Structure formats: structure tokens, C-alpha cells
Structure 1
Amino acid sequence: MDYENILTEEQDGILHITINRHTKLNALNKATIKELHEAFSEAKEDHDVKVIILTGSGEKAFVAGADISEFADFTPEEGRELAAEGQASLFDFVANFPKPVIAAVNGFALGGGLELAMAAHFRIASDNAKMGLPEVSLGVIPGYGGTQRLPQLVGKGRAMEMIMTAGMIDANQALQYNLVNHVTSLDELPELALELAQKIMKNSLVAISGAIRSINANYQDGVNGFEVEISEFGHAFGTEDFKEGTSAFLNKRKADFPGE
């Protein structure tokens, strides 16, 4: 499918999704959110896609925020609808995506941009990256999951400080806060993302989907993550990947997972 605001390229099982509004520092507008949802929906059904790498175009920004001009005149009800629709169609959709999603943060990740990066399963960053949730400086709060995911990643106190001050942290501080897993140079960021994706693809993607569901369950109100883990663990025993993985281990050979 042809898109106006994003680029997609699939190679050897890895789908690269690039937000391509570099003149706007890749700011998220409604059209871009819709296109990202469509790209992820297609990837979900495409058996050739095993891992997704999400990044921004250019050298300045992953996503510098939401397009404020689109909602500056919204009513309270329109604001609630904006947050609910965005979370359902993109941010929660990515967080619960059954295939691994790596966010390669190449520059500014602010507001909705940081919220999108936090929705990915984990993040890596270039050393020029800067991250923050500046919404309170506009008289609003993060509305795409920021008040929920940031405390999960960095802890309540640090999240409170970041949100209340509306300040930015650099890549090394983000690494110290456990907001990102790795920091590298801007030039080496795509290669690091690729290396991590290739490592993931050596394993059972069926099992990884179960692990994603189990990990996410721990953060759902009223859901017992241990029970979900037990269920997913048991389910794995009925998969072809389990048969292949155990057979390969016992026969001292490399596993060739069928993905079933």
C-alpha cells in the first residue's frame, strides 16, 4: 500500500516502518496515526513479517510530538474522543502487537512521539536523542498512554518529575532511567536495530507472542499475570515450535522454527 506520511520496507522478515514527515519533525497528525494503524494491521496478517522496526525519517526526530494545530480548538468531549481513538487504533495496538516491535529513537521523541516509542516493546536510541512529555506546558496532560507507561518504565517519582517539569532528558539519562535499552551513534542506530531484530528472529516467534501477552498482563488492572503466564506456558506445549525447539535441543542441532 502507498502511504503519504510513512514509508514501509520489508526485507528478510523485518518490516521497517518510518514516519516520514521530516519537515514537521515527524509530528503525529490524524492521517499519520491512521496510516500507522493500517501498516501495523497489514503486518499482523503478513506471515512473512516477523519483527517491526519503527523509526523516524531524517536525523533530527523520531516524532517531535502531536500536531497541535489539529486539536487546539477541541471541546472536552472531542479531547476524550481523540485520546480514546488514538490509544485504541495505535498506541495500545502497538503495545499489544503479537510480533516484536523495536523503536529506534533517532532524535527528538516528545509528547505523542515518546508515547509511541513507549508503546513499542523496547527502545534503542541514538546519542542525539532527547525525550520528554511536555504536555503540561500546553495546559493538557499526556493522552496517549504517557501517564501509564512512563511510570512503568522509569518509576513513579521520575515520571512525576518528567511530566510536571515538562523537561527533556538526553539519551544517556534515558538509559540510566531504563527508558531505553541501548544508546549508540546516529549512524550505527539502524545496524543495532537490525542486529537485535535478527537475534529475535532466531527464536520461536510463537513463543515470543505468548511472552508478550504474559508480560503485558502484569500491567493490566485486575489481571493476574502469573495465571496468564501459566496459561501461555501450557499452550506452548501444543505448538509445532515447541516440538521443533525441544527436538533440536535434544539432538544438538540448530532449531528451524516453523512458526506454528
Structure 2
Amino acid sequence: MSGSLSVWIERDGKLLRLRLDRPKANVLDAEMIAALRAAFATHCANASLRGVLIDASGPHFSFGASVEEHLPEKCAAMLGGFHALILDVLKSPIPVLVALRGQCLGGGLELASAAHLLFAAPDTRLGQPEIALGVFAPAASCLLTERITRAAAEDLLLSGRSITGIEAYDMGLINGLSDNPEAAALDYFDAHLARKSANALRFATRAARLDFSARVATKLAAVEELYLNELMQTHDAVEGLTAFIEKRETRWKDQ
């Protein structure tokens, strides 16, 4: 366990549990990102594992990445670390399940979207609100168009609006709805993964994502460059982030 992440193994050594543990918002800052990456690096080589379940303490899955770490002096390091985590999840050799409740926003939804199977409460709120801060969601720009229709993905990315778990299920973003998404994810693991050959699951997981992970990795590198070298050189990107931190109205210049 780190100060921001609880880590344990259960189900007779077959399931790795990762719980975001920084109430109330479970912000994905550098410490949380590093702890998640370390857990994947340490445990995913365990040949007995059949799955990973990521969930969160408190009422919300995550409010997203740290806004302070998006500012120009920190955003290159933050994006580098966060996108490395996204690729860790995307290329995980074993299925990654996620249980969502409360708010699942920004980087929280990006993290979940990189996983294999998503379970959510009907009233979960999911969204990519970055556009309201004068920026965009780099990882979601690559992942959402792969998971749902382009029309639905562009709606979420351009509007910044949040949708319910029910809407996300109807879009195909969520695999299962339950008032207790953690229990639903565990039930899925017990019924469909726990008794499979761990070796076979690794090959099946790799095969299912071979082209998908390659496409996302290539696009993510290009989108990260767009974000850092073009977007973050503009007035409005810095203004939107600064205004959010200072809790004041934005003063857009449209440049």
C-alpha cells in the first residue's frame, strides 16, 4: 500500500486488486500514477494472475488528473507519466476490470477506458470536461473513438458533458450496470475468468488487442506532441487552467 493506492491479491492468488485511496476525489496526481505503474510492473508478471480489478474508496472513482500538474512547467512530466500508465493498462497481459461509481471524470475516465471490462452504477457520472478548461483530453481522444462510435466519442470530447452509467452502457462504453459495480466485477471474474488457464488468458488478451494497442500507442504519441508543443503554447489553455485553480471566471482571448 502507498499513501494513495491500496494493493492486494485475492481469489487464491488469481486476482490483483488496486484501489484508488485518496478521498474524496481520488485525484490522479504524480504519486497516484507512480503507485499504479509500480503495481502493474511488480505484479503482472505473476503467472497465476487471471485479472486485475481497479476500484476506488469513497463515493467517487476519480475527479481526474491533477489540474495543477497540467500547468506548463509540469505538464510534460505529468503527461509522460500518465500516458505511460495508460499504455501499461492498455497492454496489460491479463484482463483489467474497473468498477466505477460516483464521478468518473477526465483522467479517471481515460484510465478506465484503457481497461478491458467496465462496470458502473447506473447513476455514475462519466465525462471528459477538459474542453471547459481550454484544453482537450489526449488519451480519451485516442481511446473513446476505439471503444464507442466516433459520433458518440466526438460528442463527449467536444461538449465536455457528463453522461450517466445508463447512457454509457447504451453507448457500449460500459460492459455491465449494477448498484454494486465492485460486486458485479467480482462476479464476472469468478464466473468467466477465475477457472480459465492463466496462460491461455494471456495469449487471448494479447491477441484481442494486438492492432488496437498499436493504433492507440501511435496516435497517443502524436496527440501528446500536439498538446505539449501547440496547445500549451496558447493563451487560452493556460488561462483556463489558471482560472480553474484560482476559482474565477475565464478570460478567453480565442488564441
Q: Scaled by the length of structure 1, what TM-score is found?
A: 0.77
Separation of aligned partners in 1, 2:211 and 2:38: 28
Deviation at 1:86, TM superposition (A): 1.8
Q: Secondary structure at the match of 1:22?
A: coil
Residue 148 in structure 1 maps to residue 142 in structure 2: yes
Deviation at 1:80, TM superposition (A): 4.2
Which residue of structure 2 lines up, in the alignment, with residue 193 of structure 1?
A: 185
1:110-141 per-residue CA deviation (whole Å, 9 max, x = no partner) reads 10000000011110101221101111111111
Which residue of structure 2 lines up, in the alignment, with residue 226 of structure 1?
A: none
Uncovered stretches (5+) of structure 1, i.e. residues with no partner: 223-260
Residue 20 in structure 1 maps to residue 24 in structure 2: no
Q: Which amino acid aligns with 2:146?
A: Q
Q: Which amino acid aligns with 1:192?
A: A
Residue 29 in structure 1 maps to residue 22 in structure 2: no
Separation of aligned partners in 1, 2:21 and 2:42: 18
Deviation at 1:164, TM superposition (A): 0.7
Residue among 101, 111, 117 paired with 1:116: 111
Q: Whose RCO is larger (CA < 8 A, sep 6+)? A: 2
Between the aligned residues of both structures, percent identity stands at 25
Larger of the two Rg values belongs to structure? 1
Which residue of structure 2 lines up, in the alignment, with residue 250 of structure 1?
A: none
Residue among 93, 99, 119 paired with 1:98: 93
Which residue of structure 2 lines up, in the alignment, with residue 58 of structure 1?
A: 58
Moved over 6 A (4+): none
Separation of aligned partners in 2, 1:85 and 1:40: 14
Q: Secondary structure at the match of 1:98?
A: coil
Which residue of structure 1 lines up, in the alignment, with residue 169 of structure 2?
A: 175
Uncovered stretches (5+) of structure 2, i.e. residues with no partner: 217-255
Separation of aligned partners in 2, 1:91 and 1:100: 14
Which residue of structure 2 lines up, in the alignment, with residue 85 of structure 1?
A: 81
